[in-house]
């Protein structure tokens, strides 16, 4: 019953939407590869990849990228370990207060960073933690745990129980079963969690902005904001710096896009 007209219409929509989605991306890439100044020369086939080296150097991205990698690693590792443990308990064990406790975690998915960041700044300052990696990472670990616990609980509730039963009869403890039996099977769910948390942490802006006023623990997105303050008129260097900041997540996305889309879309609907 599908007419040629309908099929053509579909292709037209796909084309228009793809162009609109890609237009800003193409714009930024064009700036990034354009000449940085009038004496930039002809470049390589008209392109100027040297902008990336210049932006990296001028923007102190060695420091910011290192900080970003450290913060992301810390957040992902701590949050995934805590979430798997908690999600396993909520998903497979019955205990008093589990309902209320789980509800508290769900609440955390909705609490905006804006409201907690103000008291956290003053309380962490009193503890001498401001401008340390802990002030930047720990609030994000907590946010990630709220989502991660929910995510892993959903997974463990639907996971195959009989394997655990068999292991239990063999005398394995809950900890051993989780580590040796359940975690290897749960790998796809854990990978999805890892890529989502990595993306959210890498792209986070408000928490590192507030928690590192001196700039000592400035992450890559903040480096870009800082860069914009000084180089806003140099579109080539700005473009190159922006591409550098976006690149790590985009690369992971291109390889593992099904995990991104499943995590953010299908996971939200299917439960």
CA atoms within 13 A on the CB side of 5: 1
Which residue matches tokens 């609109």?
20
With DSSP H G I counted as helix, E B as strand and the rest as coil, what are the percentages for the chain, rounded to 5?
Answer: 80, 0, 20
Q: Which is nearer to another protein, 28 or 133 (CB)?
A: 28
Q: Show the binding pattern over residues 16-55: x = contacts another protein (CB under 8 A), - = does not.
A: -xx-xxxxxx-xx--x------------------------
Q: d(Cα 69, Cα 80) in Å, to the nearest integer?
A: 16
* Distance of alpha carbon 100 from alpha carbon 118, whole angstroms: 27
Residue nearer to another protein on the CB measure, 57 or 123: 123
Joined together, the tokens standing for residue 133 give 């990696």
Site pattern 1..20 for another protein (x: CB under 8 A):
xx---xx-xxx-xx--xx-x
Angle formed by the axes of helices 50-58 and 61-92, nearest 10°: 80
Cα gap 239→36, rounded to integer Å:
10
Q: Which of 51, 189, 249, 259 is the binder for another protein (CB under 8 A)?
A: 249
Among 73, 180, 206, 230, contact with another protein (rule: CB under 8 A): 206
| Residue 189 beta carbon to another protein: minimum distance, rounded to whole angstroms | 15
- Measured from the CB atom, the residue of 44 and 203 that comes closer to another protein is 203
Nearer to another protein, 47 or 117 (CB): 117
The distance of Cα 220 from the centroid of its chain, to the nearest Å, equals 13
Interface with another protein in residues 95-154 (CB under 8 A): 95, 98-99, 101-106, 108-123, 138-139, 141-150
C-alpha–C-alpha distance, residues 65 and 245, integer Å: 8
255 is a contact residue toward another protein (CB under 8 A)? no
Counting contacts by CB under 8 A, is residue 82 touching another protein? Answer: yes
Is 64 a residue that touches another protein (CB under 8 A)?
no
Q: Which of 44, 53, 77, 81 binds another protein (CB under 8 A)?
A: 81
How many other C-beta atoms are found inside a 10 Å radius of the C-beta of residue 27? Answer: 12
* CA distances to 109, 140, 200, 209 from 203, in Å: 17, 11, 5, 12
How many chain residues are in contact with another protein, going by CB under 8 A?
109
* Residue 184 beta carbon to another protein: minimum distance, rounded to whole angstroms: 18
Contact call for residues 223 and 61 (beta carbons, < 8 A) = yes
- Say if CB 191 and CB 260 are below 8 A apart: no
Cβ distance to another protein smaller for residue 56 or 253? 253
Of the two residues 22 and 53, which places its CB atom closer to another protein in the complex? 22
> Segment contacting another protein (CB under 8 A): 37-45, 48-56, 57-65, 205-213?
205-213
């Amino acid at each position: 019953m599908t007419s040629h007209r309908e099929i053509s219409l579909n292709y037209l929509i796909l084309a228009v939407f793809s162009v609109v989605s890609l237009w800003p991306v193409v714009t930024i890439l064009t700036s990034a590869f354009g000449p940085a100044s009038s004496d930039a020369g002809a470049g390589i086939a008209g392109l100027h990849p040297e902008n990336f080296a210049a932006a990296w150097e001028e923007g102190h991205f060695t420091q910011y990228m290192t900080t970003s990698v450290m913060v992301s690693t810390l957040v992902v590792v701590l949050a995934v370990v805590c979430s798997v443990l908690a999600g396993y308990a909520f998903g497979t064990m019955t205990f008093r207060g589990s309902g209320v406790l789980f509800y508290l975690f769900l609440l955390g998915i909705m609490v905006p960073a804006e409201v907690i960041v103000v008291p956290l700044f003053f309380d962490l300052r009193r503890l001498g933690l401001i401008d340390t990696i802990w002030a930047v990472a720990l609030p994000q670990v907590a946010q990630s745990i709220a989502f991660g616990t929910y995510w892993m609980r959903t997974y463990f509730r639907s996971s195959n129980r009989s394997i655990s039963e068999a292991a239990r009869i063999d005398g394995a403890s809950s900890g051993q079963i989780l580590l040796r039996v359940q975690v290897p099977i749960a790998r796809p769910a854990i990978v999805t969690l890892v890529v989502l948390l990595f993306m959210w942490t890498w792209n986070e802006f408000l928490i590192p902005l507030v928690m590192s006023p001196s700039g000592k623990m400035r992450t890559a997105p903040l480096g870009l904001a800082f860069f914009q303050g000084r180089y806003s008129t140099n579109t080539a260097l700005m473009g190159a710096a922006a591409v550098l900041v976006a690149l790590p997540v985009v690369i992971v996305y291109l390889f593992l896009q099904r995990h991104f889309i499943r995590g953010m879309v299908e996971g939200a609907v299917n439960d």
